[in-house]
Structure 1
Amino acid sequence: MVQRHRLFKRLITGIALLCLVNAAFGLDPARKISQYVHDKWGEDKGFLGGKIYAIRQSADGYLWIGTERGLVRFDGSNFTLIKRPLPNSPLINRVRGLVTDASGKLWIRLEGPRMLLYRDGRFEDPYARFDLQDITFTAAISDYEGGVILSGLGDRTFRYQNGRMETIVSAEQSPGNVISLAATRDQSIWLGTQDNGLFRLSQGHISRVAQELKDSKINALLPAESGGLWIGSDDGIHLWEGGVLATLNLPSSLKQLQILTMARDSAANIWVGTNHGIVRITPSGAVSLDQLNPKPGFEVTAIYEDLDGDIWFGGSRGIERLRNGTLTTYSTSDGLPSSGIGSVYADSTDRIWFAPLSGGLYWMKEGQVGHITVDGLEHDVVYSISGGNGEVCVGRQHGGLTVLTGKGDSFTARTYTQADGLAQNSVYSVHRDRDGTIWAGTVSAGVSRLNGGKFTNYSDSSGLPSNGVNSIVEGFDGTTWVATPSGLASFANGHWKNRTASDGLPSSIVRTIFQDTKHVLWIVTSDGLVYLSSGKIRVPVRLPEALREQILGVAEDGMGSLWFITSDHVLRVNHDRLLSDSLSETDVQSYGIDDGLPGVDGAGRDRPVVADREGRIWISGKSGLSMADPIVISKNSTPVTVRIESMSAGGSPVNAQNSIKIPSGVQTITLNYGSTNLAVPERIRFRYKLDGSDQGWSDSVASRQVVYKNLGPGTYLFRIVASNNVGLWNGPETSVPFVIEPAYWQTWWFRIACLAGCCLMILAVHRLRIHHLTKRLNVGFQERIAERTRIAQELHDTLLQGVLSASLQLDVAEDQLPEDSPTKPLLKRILQLMGTVTEEGRNALRGLRTTESPDQNLETAFSRLRQEFPLDGNTNYRVIVDSVTRPLRPLIRDEVYRIGREALLNAFMHAHANRIEVEVEYASRHLRVLVRDDGRGIDSRVLHSGLEGHWGLVGIRERSKRIGANLRLRSRIGAGTEVDLTVPGSIAFEKGSNDPISRWFRWLSRERLETPKHEKEKRVHK
């Protein structure tokens, strides 16, 4: 069978432990069977199993039902008929018995020589493990040690425990066809036969028990709390105790019934399945027979208490369940005169007073119902009930105001009417203050105040907003509050104060009011609910939709929650969350038929809901009187465990027996889950989170499936929790880890390879770019060299030769002039000027045509400039080399040299400096040339824009830009000048000079040159 139900053994173990720790509360023995919530499933509701033989619940929360049609599984919502639990095995039909052992295995007893085991979502055949020789088992139970006792047809009886199967009754000892078994605390095994009576196995010896039953068919056995044994036969129920059959004080009708099955719940109730229905025997011995039916076809053949304490039973009509409802409802079968109940009141003696809609006044205490027949109350309709300090005040439809006093079940009455000063005989709302003052609100004549035996009447002429009164309460400070159809009135210090829609009420029609223990006055208007706190009217922000209906009554239970009765709902709301405007879905519980209410149609009377002194809530309605105990509700709020039912990846089921690994490329991952709660599964809410994807927990949801799409590769942990049926998140967390495997293109090695490939590509592109740049620079350099050579030739052949020729002519002319000629000094100055021009022209031509030899480095070339430009003896010129020299690309070397030469030419000729330095740095990532002097500096405008007619600075910038270098010019008048040129190493240096070995060698050479003061040694060329 495809493993769709379990994901982890630890999940099952956790659920089992949870069930052991949180023992279920059995059905309340104080309730009648008719007061339990009774659920039924037949073919009309999806149950297709036919006649039921056995019921059990496995550790994962599923309910298993053995039927004549096969094995049925119930998850709280759906029934699944399992016909072939094991692949390649025959179909199964009748399932005769179900037993669970201490390890959580479910033993499934089939008809004929077959049996199955179920655990962790898997089935197996125990016949394949043990040599059972095709034995047909006829009975099976679990003993007190957690083992399983199995009895075969006319053969042996076995005990299975700790993985071993041993024979405890041999074929020779067999008492006959065993159809029922029981194990008691004294280590005895009891065997009930089909037609040979009862036998006992003790210390390896088997003996007949109860000679009176020697020819009886023993259908069921159940250990008794006293140590004895309950015996169910075709002749009724018996109790073996003290070595004899005890005399039972049971109804004669029960003694005549055929007993088919028995079970005991956790509250010590004995449940008996008969051929005419189910019977309950309480621990006190009381017998409930109200579920018996004299007609045939109502047999109960299987009974079981589930992990939540609910009773399941079934026969030929399907499967049924009894459970404690949140509310206990009393109706005419419990002594109420009618189903429709109006006003209700709880006094200090735990007596519940109620007024049927049809008329009269009644009380109920400890299940007993009493009727008040004084002063004509039995013939009048009671609108309202209040009281205190031993008095019960009753507002009547026609008879005015009646005050009851008395002790026990005897009461005396004093009735007040208009003749006594009451404003009107029709009193709709009555309230007794703590000081004994009684307020009687009439239908149409205002309100009357009874104090000291005298009435004071108030109407709209006295300050009331209306003469109709809907509700009256006393505030914590003694203020009396009155709800009317025209507003809310308060009476304090002899004065009335009114509040209407103009004062913040949603509507002036106030239907009912209630003050809670925190002094908050709740006001129900025709247009919604508001509350008065600290003198201000406030509107709750986050009201559930049900509280927007017509509210008939409000009360507060002993746990601090508010109960609201509306026209269609009974709600329990978290008081503090409602006040703080933080109400969530789980803070509101709505109760209905599934919780024990026969109906939710409330009666329109004053105070249809009240709390007694123990904090229990009493609710009246058209279907009876109901009670809710919040303490019992809290105790019965069993934690709910989430069950992962299946998981699929890309539509394919995931085998989760081992670690879950999902292949790459899966687009969707689907998880289906349920809960271990079988009672009200529709109320269970879930919150989940996927670690590795989700940032936080999801909102509470009712859906039982979650789908994740487009998850990337990685490790994930799906976590989920559930709230129980009262909204408490007290269950354990269920988790499912899984791994999505990466595709090859998502693996780390593939990404590293891609990264390396990208780096190599970038390097190749970079080298290609450098190659193209170098080639382009070389071409440009050759073109510029040729152009400079041509210009130099032309200048030399034309301009310079012409100047020299003119200079010679002038020199001849000057020699021919007499010494005293006034023209001779002028010619001398002209000759000197022309000599200067000639020398400058030669220097310019030398710069245009000079190309250093290929093996000459920059520092050498810069050092020889001293010979080219003779310096004043006061000028100190030196070249500094920082780090080891590296081979440069010829084009870059020449361009850098010409930039440096132009900078030095400016320094030599125009700076008038005392010190001129050139620093050359061969760094690992760049070539740097720094020319600085301490001369007179350059004006900032000239530095940035150049001097008209001079092209030195402009040429420096153009050259540096062409070779991709970074040029910085720094100068200030009187502070010298710096020309800082930086060329990237990838452009400046020859290939192979920047590899790691070369860099290490240069670093080592530099380290060896370090001084003790860790300062770099610089080579100086002078």
Structure 2
Amino acid sequence: MWIGTERGLVRFDGFNFTLIQRPLPNSPPISPVRGLATDANGNLWIRLEGPRMLLYHDGNFEDPYTRFDLQDITFTSILSDYEGRVILPGLGERTFRYEGGRLETIVNAEQSPGNVISLAATRDQSIWLGTQDNGLFRLSQGHISKVAQELKDSKINALLPAETGGLWIGTDSGINLWESGVLAHLDFPSSLKQLQILAMARDSDANVWIGTNHGIVRITPSGAVSLDQLNPKPGFEVTAIYEDLDGDIWFGGSRGVERLRNGMLTTYSTSDGLPSSGIDSVDADSTGRIWFAPPSGGLYWMKEGQVGHITLDGLEHDVVYSISSGDGEVCVGRQHGGLTVLTEKGDSFIARSYTQADGLAQNSVYSVHRDRDGTIWAGTVSAGVSRLKGGKFTNYSDSSGLPSNAVNSIVESFDGTTWLATPSGLASFANGHWTNYTASDGLPSSMVRTIFEDTKHVLWILTSDGLAFLSSGKIKVPARLPEALREQIFGVAEDGMGSLWFTTSDHVLRVNQERLLSGSLSDTDVQSYGIDDGLLGVEGVGRERSIVVDPQGRIWISRKSGLSMADPIVISKTSVPVTVRIESMSAGGSQVNPQNPIEIPSGVQSITLNYGSTNLAVPGRIRFRYKLDGSDQGWSDTVASRQVVYKNLGPGTYLFRIVASNRVGLWNGPETSVPFVIEPAFWQTWWFRVACLAGCCLTILAIYRLHIHQLTKRLNVGFQERLAERTRIAQELHDTLLQGVLSASLQLDVAEDQLPEDSPAKPLLKRVLQLMGTVTEEGRNTLRGLRTTESGNQSLETAFSRLRQEFPLDGKTDYRVIVDSGTRPLRPLIRDEVYLIGREALLNAFMHAHANRIEVEVEYASRHLRVLVRDDGRGIDPQVLHSGLEGHWGLVGIRERSKRIGANLRLRSRIGAGTEVDLTVPGSIAFEKDSNDPISRWFRWLSRERLEMPKRDKEKRVQK
């Protein structure tokens, strides 16, 4: 809210008044503010004294004189019409209208009626101009004419369109109404005609508020005039009137700014006819009459603003403890006079009182209740409870089953059960039997003060140590109770909208019933009312009925400061949605403009948002929830603070969203959002991360390639060493063992030739020669295997195919070599090792398998070399397959060779099902690298650079 004062412009946000004296940095302080108006675009027009004016929009001030080239025109009044167009009359000059960003002339200098000091716009598109000396004029369809010439005063201070289509006219000599082309006769008090009218405004209830030189006057829609706010002393001028969004009326004048709040509660006190400021017990009957009893004694009622007093049977001299009504009867529990039943008869009442002489347990009745069937229960101070039914009393005490003889409260439940609250527990009476509940049954305390059953048939139990409820036969204590409900509770009632109202020693609370039962109560589900809401005081009373609901659903509350009434239906209907206003935003301590697209540089550690609400009445009751899209997973908890700080946000796009509840806890306001972007640092950009990822991948690839290169080099060295060792062994075996065997064989052959044919030793020598021939052949085969190094140009499949010539097979065995894909160049040593492994597997198959089919399958895959040798022979015993046969080293050698070259070997065989030898060598080990691929070229360049760099450095040093 903006307020124009003699010292400058004042801004009010609900908490603080901020004086703005220098809105333009390079300009002098502004003069007194004489008028304010807002247009359809949300611009605030500020009329200053003299030829000066300001325009405020989106947090910035500007000078419209420069913008529209107005020169030195002094504006004498300002108005915004129904369509948001601003009307600006100049001093003895033209009258302008601002619309759609343009300032146009609607009254030229020749048509000017004079010094215009008041303006009004009616829905018929007419503009009314009140002058300082020349009376009232009307501008309609471009034609200006003088009206209401019969006015006694030609100085028109204020104008206000009337609801009937006419025009209220305020002058120094009172108020007038121009209607249907004439001045209407007003039946107003004569004192109003003598007042100087300075300002007028109409509120949302069609009341006309009039600011005078002696205070405020209100004219209701019915025409009634309220002069309560008038001050007979001078110096109480009201020059400005404004109604805010919450319906509160603001008055400005010689005494500053005052606010007349439209309180949520209406409180009646002695000025409204109540006998005293304090009220104890209260009750509402079916006719709308409110019964109440002051602490000093007596029984009173109020209906439609009228207050009545009951003087029957000495009630005016006795203190009334409790009141209960139903079916035209009012039951009264008295301090000394027992029980009194009032029956309405016409415009009066008849009374029937009951005492101990009539069978009542005690003349001091603290609590009374009338059942639906007419049965009356009277709970005494110390003698138990009496039941009056059919004109007869039945008394019950602790000897009858009651937990105590003192009865604090009585309630009849929906099923006809009667419940009693006592200082020693809760008691129920049904079917002639009493049932008691104490703290051992789940009550917070056995000291039960008050009980109440709501429309959902939940029995609420108010104890000295807290609140409990009985539902479905079980006593439960609500979870997550607010602090206000943990203090001493005096009374409870349910309004017409299903909310529970509680009175405590210091609070009047309205609580969401469903949330209270479910244990999910939050701060916004509990509304606390105090002096700002219409109460004259917050101190409660500890009577049995201190809060009740009438047939219209209104809540009546007895307090030590008077009798208060709250209408929840009206409160909810007039509950204005609250909009959140972003006051300021800072990033890393520097202010940013939240109205523009916000880009926050990288490296900012914290972002702070300050916000407020459009509620000016009770801003402390407004609650907020916010969420930052891009960071928060859900909405925040409900908070009352007006600032939120986010720290260490990463780069990205964010949207700050916030909503507010209104003063009755409804979240019916619109959502306010602020988008902003945090720019990434160079090391947070996508291209930097991609570059880092690519660098890491290249580094890993280089390390891998280097490792493979080193591994291959080590394997080649090992292969060369093993080949040299095998060659040496073959040479030694050939030169020693095999030559010796051959020499011995020749000697035996000579000896055999010299023996006669009939010599008995000749057959023996022949067998020895045959055996030595076999050994010699096997030795040659072994040496051939040790020295085999096929040419690098010969492929594996070719070498395996030639084995058929080395090991002649009978015609029954089918031998095939299969190639699954195109061949690839193999490393020579790897090819030799693979060949030797395959050769050993084939040797076993040829010599021992007795197979009908033997196959060798060679696969040159992209990632591996695979050689599979399989036969359909007799198979190998599992024990031999796992551990080998003693004295034979074929399988052991196959495993050792495959392990040395980093290959994967699998042996599968079953007796009678053949054998499979499956060898897989990784491609990085088996295949020769293509010297023309990009990676190889890059590695050759890198290696060359590493070799040439020291040489270039040396050459440079030599040149130096």
Same fold per TM (> 0.5)? yes
Matches within 5 A, 1:109-188: 109-188=47-126
Which residue of the partner structure matches residue 1007 of structure 1?
Answer: none
1:203 shift after superposition: 4.2
Matches within 5 A, 1:939-1018: 939-992=877-930
SS of the residue corresponding to residue 927 of structure 1 reads strand
1:529 shift after superposition: 1.7
User: Partner letter of residue 747 of structure 1?
Assistant: T
User: Partner letter of residue 379 of structure 1?
Assistant: H
User: Partner letter of residue 742 of structure 2?
Assistant: L
Matches within 5 A, 1:616-655: 616-655=554-593
| Counterparts of 1:173 and 1:239, CA distance in 2 | 25
Contact map agreement 2:246 2:575 (CA 8 A) in 1: no
Matches within 5 A, 1:187-336: 187-211=125-149, 213=151, 216-336=154-274
SS of the residue corresponding to residue 844 of structure 2 reads helix
1:120 shift after superposition: 3.1
Which residue of the partner structure matches residue 40 of structure 1?
Answer: none
Deviation per CA, 1:742-776: give whole Å up to 9, x if none: 33333333333333333333332232222212211
Out of 665, 680, 684, the position equivalent to 2:618 is 680
User: Partner letter of residue 463 of structure 1?
Assistant: G
Out of 45, 66, 69, the position equivalent to 2:4 is 66
| Structure 2 residue 715 is the aligned partner of structure 1 residue 777 | yes
Deviation per CA, 1:344-401: give whole Å up to 9, x if none: 1111111111111122211111112122223222222211111222222222222222
1:340 shift after superposition: 0.5
Q: Which is worse superposed, 201-210 or 477-486?
A: 201-210
The size of the alignment, in residue pairs, is 936
Deviation per CA, 1:302-334: give whole Å up to 9, x if none: 111112222112223332222322211111122
Which residue of the partner structure matches residue 894 of structure 1?
Answer: 832
Out of 521, 546, 550, the position equivalent to 2:459 is 521
SS of the residue corresponding to residue 286 of structure 2 reads coil
1:243 shift after superposition: 3.6
Q: Cα distance 1:455–1:112, how it changes in 2: closer, same or farther (>3 A)?
A: same
Out of 511, 515, 518, the position equivalent to 2:449 is 511
| Counterparts of 1:214 and 1:152, CA distance in 2 | 25
| Structure 2 residue 550 is the aligned partner of structure 1 residue 612 | yes
1:602 shift after superposition: 1.0
| Counterparts of 2:154 and 2:307, CA distance in 1 | 44
Which residue of the partner structure matches residue 955 of structure 2?
Answer: none
Which residue of the partner structure matches residue 690 of structure 1?
Answer: 628
Out of 406, 419, 422, the position equivalent to 1:484 is 422
| Counterparts of 2:841 and 2:83, CA distance in 1 | 105
| Counterparts of 2:891 and 2:765, CA distance in 1 | 35
Q: Which is worse superposed, 370-379 or 796-805?
A: 370-379
Which residue of the partner structure matches residue 93 of structure 1?
Answer: 31
Matches within 5 A, 1:353-752: 353-407=291-345, 409-752=347-690
Q: Which is worse superposed, 200-209 or 783-792?
A: 200-209
| Counterparts of 1:951 and 1:94, CA distance in 2 | 114
1:952 shift after superposition: 2.0
| Counterparts of 1:476 and 1:621, CA distance in 2 | 29
| Counterparts of 2:932 and 2:269, CA distance in 1 | 100
Which residue of the partner structure matches residue 936 of structure 1?
Answer: 874
Q: Cα distance 1:407–1:94, how it changes in 2: closer, same or farther (>3 A)?
A: farther
Which residue of the partner structure matches residue 12 of structure 1?
Answer: none
Unaligned runs of 5+ in 1: 1-62, 999-1022
User: Partner letter of residue 857 of structure 2?
Assistant: E
| Sequence identity (%) | 89
Contact map agreement 1:259 1:273 (CA 8 A) in 2: yes
Which residue of the partner structure matches residue 848 of structure 2?
Answer: 910
| Counterparts of 1:388 and 1:194, CA distance in 2 | 65
SS of the residue corresponding to residue 341 of structure 1 reads coil
Q: Cα distance 1:708–1:408, how it changes in 2: closer, same or farther (>3 A)?
A: farther
Which residue of the partner structure matches residue 694 of structure 2?
Answer: 756
SS of the residue corresponding to residue 734 of structure 2 reads helix
| Counterparts of 1:997 and 1:664, CA distance in 2 | 38
| Counterparts of 1:997 and 1:483, CA distance in 2 | 92
SS of the residue corresponding to residue 337 of structure 1 reads coil
| Counterparts of 1:475 and 1:856, CA distance in 2 | 106
1:994 shift after superposition: 9.9
Deviation per CA, 1:572-602: give whole Å up to 9, x if none: 1222222222323222212112211122211
Contact map agreement 1:886 1:993 (CA 8 A) in 2: no
| Counterparts of 2:323 and 2:21, CA distance in 1 | 61
| Counterparts of 2:386 and 2:809, CA distance in 1 | 127
User: Partner letter of residue 16 of structure 2?
Assistant: N
Greater relative CO (CA pairs within 8 A, separation 6+): 1
1:726 shift after superposition: 1.4
1:115 shift after superposition: 1.5
Q: Which is worse superposed, 185-194 or 433-442?
A: 185-194
SS of the residue corresponding to residue 376 of structure 1 reads helix
1:899 shift after superposition: 1.6
| Counterparts of 1:813 and 1:853, CA distance in 2 | 43
1:465 shift after superposition: 2.4
| Counterparts of 1:756 and 1:560, CA distance in 2 | 65
1:617 shift after superposition: 0.4
Q: Which is worse superposed, 780-789 or 577-586?
A: 577-586
Which residue of the partner structure matches residue 953 of structure 2?
Answer: none
SS of the residue corresponding to residue 718 of structure 1 reads strand
| Counterparts of 1:979 and 1:451, CA distance in 2 | 107
SS of the residue corresponding to residue 578 of structure 1 reads helix
Q: Which is worse superposed, 757-766 or 594-603?
A: 757-766
User: Partner letter of residue 250 of structure 2?
Assistant: W
User: Partner letter of residue 958 of structure 1?
Assistant: E
Q: Which is worse superposed, 129-138 or 873-882?
A: 873-882
SS of the residue corresponding to residue 342 of structure 1 reads coil
Deviation per CA, 1:597-631: give whole Å up to 9, x if none: 12221111120100000110000010110001110
| Counterparts of 2:918 and 2:677, CA distance in 1 | 59
Q: Cα distance 1:722–1:408, how it changes in 2: closer, same or farther (>3 A)?
A: farther
The Cα RMSD (Å) is 2.3
User: Partner letter of residue 513 of structure 2?
Assistant: H
Which residue of the partner structure matches residue 848 of structure 1?
Answer: 786
SS of the residue corresponding to residue 69 of structure 2 reads coil
1:230 shift after superposition: 1.7
Contact map agreement 1:102 1:146 (CA 8 A) in 2: yes
User: Partner letter of residue 231 of structure 1?
Assistant: I
Q: Cα distance 1:159–1:868, how it changes in 2: closer, same or farther (>3 A)?
A: same
SS of the residue corresponding to residue 770 of structure 1 reads helix
| Counterparts of 1:85 and 1:158, CA distance in 2 | 24
Q: Cα distance 1:226–1:405, how it changes in 2: closer, same or farther (>3 A)?
A: same
1:685 shift after superposition: 1.8
User: Partner letter of residue 511 of structure 2?
Assistant: V
Q: Cα distance 1:984–1:362, how it changes in 2: closer, same or farther (>3 A)?
A: same
TM-score (norm 1): 0.88
| Counterparts of 2:894 and 2:652, CA distance in 1 | 58
SS of the residue corresponding to residue 768 of structure 1 reads helix
